[in-house]
Amino acid sequence: MAVKTAEGKYIVFEESWTEYIRGMECPGGYTLHISKEHRDRYVKAFIARLPKEVPDEFSAPDDNLKPTLIDDALYVKLVASGDGLWGPVEF
Is the pLDDT score of 91 beyond 70? no
3 state SS of 29: strand
Determine the pLDDT at residue 37: 96
Is the Cβ–Cβ distance between 91 and 77 less than 8 Å? yes
Q: Whole-model pTM?
A: 0.88
In a 13 Å sphere around the CA of 61, the CA atoms on its Cβ side amount to 21
Reported as a single tens digit per residue, the pLDDT across 33-59 is 999 999 999 999 999 998 888 778 888
Phi and psi at 30, nearest 5°, equal -155, 160
